[in-house]
Amino acid sequence: MDEFILNIDKNLFRSTNGPWNQLMLNDPWSVGYVTTIIEYKNFTNKIEWEELYYRTGSYRNKLIEDHYLSYDPILNDESLIRIDKYKVFGLPYDIKQLNFAHGRTKEQLAIKAEILYKYMKSIGSNITLEECFECVRFRTICETWNGVILRERNTVKALESYYPNYQFKKVSGEIDHKYGIDVEVYHNSTLVIGLQIKPKSYLSNAPYLVKAQQANTRKNQEYLNDFGVKVINVISNTKGEIINLNEIKRVF
């Protein structure tokens, strides 16, 4: 399967990493649990995945229009999650699932692109609105495909070949978001470790990545507290070739 290729300058794309996280444009409340949505079906190519993501967004809009119109201001308030999370937590489960279990339309991603664009212009960037849309699209749709379908699945296949007596289970998007893990590993039906599968670039000391690493460390500690097992990083490429294999071997 082909991976998505970034269509804008990489340095320009990286310049939006900090604002992307700071503005919380990647929050599941406004893009859905993409790592769960992408598991809804088996895709033959990346175009099918992108089309499905937009299609679930249209389906979500129809559900809101037909049955939940009174909740529209909350469900489609991009800034709500940054103002008062308790408003979200207090909603009925089926209402919250409208946001978490569905993607968004191109038009809704364009709204996020406008938010990013206005911020980038305020700090003196010469990025265009079209380039901001590509940043939003690439992070939401393309990186999910490259990371989950290519990197994660190929890495798990490699690990299964190394350790056939262990079971590797992909976690839900909710667990991923809460604990910062991608896969749980079982031995004889007993949970033994959590895995976070990342590209080599994750090891960079860029400020935005350092913040991400620190956030994941806190989430991983919470996982240890709740389940009594550690989380380790597996560094690999989209082919599933594990870069820190010697470190992994010391764990199993």
What does the alpha-carbon distance between residue 221 and residue 218 come to, in Å, rounded to a whole number? 5
Residue 38 is predicted with a pLDDT of 94
What does the alpha-carbon distance between residue 164 and residue 10 come to, in Å, rounded to a whole number? 38
The reported pTM is: 0.84
pLDDT along the chain (252 residues), means of 10: 93 94 88 93 94 97 96 80 70 94 96 95 97 98 94 95 95 92 96 95 81 92 97 94 91 84
- Cβ partners under 8 Å of residue 176, min gap 6: 33, 35, 36, 182
Residue 137 is predicted with a pLDDT of 98
Which CATH code, of 3.90.1200, 1.20.1740, 3.40.1350, 2.60.40, is assigned to 165-249? Answer: 3.40.1350
Residue 190, helix vs strand vs coil: strand
Residue 205 is predicted with a pLDDT of 82
**Residues 115, 4 contacting (CB under 8 angstroms):** no
Each domain of the chain, given as residue ranges in start order, spans 10-147, 165-249
